[in-house]
């Protein structure tokens, strides 16, 4: 762990470089262009209507 105490500034420089590069890449993104070219999402398939057929409640025969 002595090397960590001696070379902490190298690790700090690496972290600053990573953050700097990620900020530069995020600045290149254009969210408006992405939203304009975004593909349509297919409709959600919901199979809950099939469960309604298997009703376990007793039938009311008084009617």
Report pLDDT digits (tens) over 8-23. Answer: 999 999 999 999 999 9
Average pLDDT on 30-42 reads: 86
Residue 15 is predicted with a pLDDT of: 97
* Residues 6+ away with beta carbon under 8 Å from 11: 4
46: how many CB neighbours lie within 10 A of its CB? 7
Tell me what the mean pLDDT of segment 42-59 comes to. 66
Selected residue with higher pLDDT from 57 and 27? 27
Q: Which two tokens stand for residue 33?
A: 């262009």
**Its pTM surpasses 0.85:** no
């Amino acid at each position: 762990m002595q090397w960590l105490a001696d070379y902490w500034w190298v690790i700090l420089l690496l972290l600053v470089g990573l953050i700097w590069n990620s900020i530069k890449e995020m600045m290149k993104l254009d969210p408006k262009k992405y939203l304009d070219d975004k593909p349509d999402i297919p409709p959600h398939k919901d199979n809950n209507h099939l469960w309604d057929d298997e009703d376990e409640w007793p039938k009311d025969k008084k009617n």
